[in-house]
A and B are shown apart, each in its own frame.
Chain A
């Protein structure tokens, strides 16, 4: 069923009784060409691009919970391509280009909203780093503007310019950055993949891999064994647990990232703003909630919940940066488990086991990568070769020393 304003009018006039299910709820078949493990954003987009770009439709997506219950369902919805290194920035810019036009392609409104993102800087050294980054962005085909304090005062008059512990000197602005309605991204990809024949199997948890002679031939699930020629793991947040079933260790730690939303408010924050002197970033949803977050709690955990010190830390950053939000009320805080990799960058790679692929290590920033991650993963699975923009997202980069360390923090996952 194609969505449009005319469909809404037609349905509205006939009692909204004719809406069709957005996806099927099929039973697992005994065998597929490709299994994608993980029905989050990346898994669903992988399936979608396998079907649309590579014509692979004998594909199933295996999701242990409900569709979109991965980190696509609990992030802070930011899309941007303001990375620094050649191993990252072209990938994220490719993702941004896929975001632009995604809704029309999927015929699903994911409220992709390019209201801009500003990374503030507070010292000369931070400004130098912002310039370096901005130029890298432009080199990759992205947009970047350095804002000085005067312009910033006009754009964001609510920032604390005059009583700040860390002065706001300016910002690196990416006008094309913004936000998207995260759940809708998962739904749009799921609907698109389903329509092309991909089976999305909810409540189907992988409990083992069928690995013989160094090759993967399928998986065992809570809904029975499923054979496949290729198995593609895409379960960021649970990567360690799932890959352990295949006997593989990963350069990844599992950490919890908390996120926050306030009560609904009339629009007050124009785009996405990130604080350079504290751990705080914020945007405002179309419904009016201030959506914000900060640092990870910093200890290994799978508990999907954080503790108070980080809550306080994040709110301190917010109050230091924009003290007008003090009387807004925090409505809900939650935690999501993220794959923190050893250099802060992700993996889209084959593994030592034939037919077993791995996508993960997205740290706290996987949402914006959703389109390109799926696109490049599908490319790797279907063609056997890395997509050029994801060529450095290799698992062996720690052995070679070709790290993709944006922060320069080294092998310390909780600092990335």
Chain B
């Protein structure tokens, strides 16, 4: 076959050929084909291997429920494993390969598993591979993992682009079969904002697969005209190739639209889009999924679902076999024989499990009422079947129908449980539907075309009324109510061999029986023990058959047993689409400091800090190691003047009559009496009494303060202040605004900082020590009139200032500072030098303020004013937080001054064993001090203050270090603070 010899009719476009390959062999198909239909048209019957027994498998269904026909599409980084051939649209040059074998698809060495099947039954691996223990990781597991799969990732970065977006509508219609089209038509004509979604690339659902007539025309033609009308309405959005994957809270649905999967090349366009659909109402018209019957060797290529065989014949104009048999327990299965016979396909026999007169008069076709197939023949493709009577009938395709299961999945995503209906022998949506969701058509158990049209129409009409949207006058489309009578029949008890229930995971009737016998009787235990329904199809065709077998075995009803829980997504979705464009450098936004451009121009290196990129150091020519740069920056700052962008510190503007009172409540120490024009260091506690942030707050006016926070806690402090303002003390007159991004702030530090600022700050502002002493602040103008704020505060321990200007001046102001500093050899310094200087000075930073520290641990307990209330005051007094033998922050220096300390080392007494009970604390931060010429550290150690001068070990096993260190006070440089007051 060339793939071009087709049945009459169908939706394929015969005017153009599509060339594609499967396992390297070239084939031809038509636009409108899926890979599965094109392969069937080319006579390719075996397309894959099952997961466990590596049995040959062929196409089983014609939709997203496919368990067998999993292939890999495309090559290289574009490789897409486990793709269902039944939903893969054919395109020019499509390159598909089969998967899950060792050797080749036709000669799979792992097919040996099939011969060993009696030893590989349900849960066999829980009972062996335990001895000897050491062999699990070394032998057993690697062997098991090697057989994992089935598909293989490329291992390369996914080269495609993905998007995410929001859609809003009055009515979301999920599924575009007769019910969905009828519903969308009502809503669309009424003017409601309507979204109609279907996973298929052609809208119309099974109308294209069947031979129904609607309003006197073929169902497919009717669907086409409705879709055309809807497409012309501005208030209707049609989304084909889009799967609604989950129903989330408050009418939000997740939907994935496949934009370029059907094209040879995405050409830079988004491959897929994740839509979050915000709907006022939704109608689920997801249809139903046919289920098979379990009988011996029912897994051979050529055994297919009866409805799928019709789909291939009617929609794709492909006969899946030359001589087709039908095995059914319901009237619907007979349609397969009727439709195929009408297209000239030979019907081998119709075997109906029911003991009754044939429901359809098909002359010239063999009929076996009450017939049961016990086994099948044909190793790599069906050749014949055998009935319980012993009769053998030759056929190369068997269309099986065990009835239809409504696709209730989305109705259960918010813990709704479906209920069993005996009359159709299937679960239908029960209570607990997602709020705003209605169901219509076969998903509601109304399996005929006429009923689907009516329900879709009526559901949408009711919703329009409910939403107060005027109904357009329109007539209900008319169609016949074809017979769908069914008599439950789950498995052929006469079958001696293995009868498959879950085709992909190779779970058989016997496995289910054995699991039940062993005690795994709850449906959830059955699933977990046998892996039933856990494959890529999530048991869409298998689960109900399994429930029936479980029910039969345990003497219970299917309804009592219930289903396992349906979870999103409805069908598997690429991980990448959930991430959209938030990956790579765009994973999270990057914040740039106001002087970033200047720092780049200066050749700075940058480091990530709480979302910001901060200059880390500025290498100059000749420097080959970062330490050289950092040491120079520290030395020049301490000897002259250094400049650092500190804009990343959080800045919160606080105004109002009660601002001082408010600050008294949110800081541990007092602020109400802070004079105007002064700055104070503040310590902030959580309500549980632990320290979580610190910073300085300046009083710019009687009712105006500016608070700084650490870079990391900017947002958190602001949130907490708003909580205090709105929820705890709503009567205070205080208002907050975040000003972090509004001000560019620079530290100007070092003995020449005043001289430098004298050239920047406009006269007549007096910078003299008496006029503007340590902890003073004021409003200034700079560079001839630009607004600025000046604070005399110092993190470095040197005479120092922080000066702020509006952010837009950041780059030019940094340049102005550097120009003004040329006479003093001003140096820009980065966060590493900042860190070294703060450590030399014994200031705490993030490593010490890690949320586990108490004020006592930081030697700051006296800052918690007991005279006033503040957040955290009461609980900071709990006994274990004030132990006299608790941890306290101290300084550390190595006895051997040439040794480099490491942060994260734990402190052990010199003679202590390496045990947790001997743990005395840990090193939080270390740095090389250019001032002292050796490595210094800060850390927490038990009873620190009373142990000054004692030697302990800084024990760092993971870095292979064990360094004797001396405990010293945590202020290494200028402990009296003379420099900063100078």
Contacts and interface: CB of A to CB of B under 8 A. Distances in A.
Interface in B111-125: 118-119, 121, 124-125
A273 B434 CA distance: 35
A389 B206 CA distance: 63
Contact of B567 (A101, A172, A183, A334): A334
A135 B578 contact: no
A187 B126 contact: yes
B851 A316 contact: no
B847 A8 contact: no
Interface stretch (A16-24, A242-250, A348-356): A16-24
Contacts of B946: none
B608 A166 contact: yes
Interface string A109-152: 11111110000001101011111111110111000111000000
Contacts of A73: 524, 528
A41 to B, nearest CB: 13
B81 A263 contact: yes
Contact of A264 (B150, B248, B252): B150
A203 B99 CA distance: 42
Interface string B593-630: 00000000000000111000000000000000000000
Interface stretch (A42-50, A318-326, A363-371, A379-387): A318-326
Contacts of B157: 160, 323-324, 326
B586 interface: yes
B128 interface: yes
Interface in A171-190: 172, 181, 183-184, 187-188
A165 B50 CA distance: 41
A309 B573 CA distance: 16
A138 B918 CA distance: 12
B213 interface: no
B690 A128 contact: no
A405 B852 contact: yes
A202 B686 contact: no
A288 B574 contact: no
Interface string B490-526: 0000000000000000000010001001111010110
Contact of B574 (A127, A303, A311, A327): A327
Nearest to A412: B686
A33 interface: no
B156 interface: yes
B956 interface: yes
Contacts of A109: 125-130
Contact of A107 (B130, B580, B587): B130
A89 interface: yes
A401 interface: yes
A266 B956 contact: no
B587 A320 contact: yes
Given A73-B524, A318-B575, A265 B153 contact: yes
Interface string B515-554: 0011110101100110100011010000000000000000
A23 B119 CA distance: 22
B904 interface: yes
A107 B119 CA distance: 18
Given A3-B126, A183-B528, A327-B81, A267 B587 contact: no
A128 B924 contact: yes
Interface in B72-131: 78-82, 118-119, 121, 124-131
B127 A3 contact: yes
Contact of B156 (A187, A324, A401): A324
Given A135-B958, A138-B914, A316 B852 contact: no
A134 B878 CA distance: 30
A66 B572 contact: no
Contact of B881 (A123, A401, A409): A401
Contacts, number: 360
Interface string A259-280: 0001111111000000000100
A331 B538 contact: yes
A28 B663 CA distance: 61
B919 A86 contact: yes
Given A109-B130, A264-B51, A326 B160 contact: yes
Interface in A387-416: 397, 399-403, 405, 407-411
B904 A266 contact: no
A99 to B, nearest CB: 11
Interface in A305-352: 305, 307-308, 311-312, 314-320, 323-334
A75 B276 CA distance: 27
Nearest to A331: B572
Contact of A125 (B146, B162, B847): B847
Contacts of A288: 145, 148-150
A165 B590 contact: yes
A407 B535 CA distance: 37
A21 B554 CA distance: 14
B154 interface: yes
Nearest to A107: B130
A55 interface: no
B836 to A, nearest CB: 13
Contacts of A69: 522, 524
Contacts of A311: 254, 578
Given A86-B916, A113-B136, A401-B881, A4 B575 contact: no
B687 interface: yes
A232 B747 CA distance: 59
A184 B125 CA distance: 10
A7 interface: yes
Contact of A184 (B126, B852, B880, B902): B126
Contacts of A135: 904-906, 922, 955-958
Contacts of A68: 525, 528
Given A263-B572, A324-B154, A140 B916 contact: yes
A113 B142 CA distance: 10
A4 B579 contact: no
Interface in A67-118: 67-69, 73, 86, 89-90, 101, 103-104, 107-115
A113 B79 contact: no
Which of B160, B531, B903 has most chain A Cβ within 10 Å? B903
A15 B246 contact: no
B260 interface: no
B747 to A, nearest CB: 20
Contact of A266 (B149, B414, B686, B916): B149
B875 A139 contact: no
B688 A111 contact: no
Interface string B38-63: 00000000000001000000000000
A21 B518 contact: yes
B14 interface: no
B298 to A, nearest CB: 20
B510 A16 contact: yes
Contact of B79 (A8, A188, A285, A327): A327
Interface in A216-265: 262-265
Interface in B804-849: 846-847
A409 B692 CA distance: 9
B543 to A, nearest CB: 13
A12 to B, nearest CB: 4
A12 B246 CA distance: 42
B114 to A, nearest CB: 13
A316 B413 CA distance: 23
Given A5-B129, A319-B576, A320-B584, 17 more contacts: A21-B519, A22-B519, A132-B903, A133-B904, A135-B905, A136-B919, A165-B587, A165-B608, A183-B528, A304-B415, A311-B578, A316-B579, A324-B156, A330-B574, A334-B567, A400-B878, A401-B882
Nearest first, the 3 A-B pairs at minimum CB distance are A408-B851, A131-B904, A326-B158
28 contacts: A8-B128, A20-B518, A22-B518, A68-B525, A69-B522, A101-B133, A109-B128, A132-B905, A139-B914, A145-B958, A188-B126, A266-B149, A267-B146, A268-B152, A278-B588, A286-B141, A308-B246, A311-B578, A315-B575, A316-B583, A326-B575, A330-B572, A332-B567, A333-B569, A401-B689, A401-B880, A403-B880, A408-B853
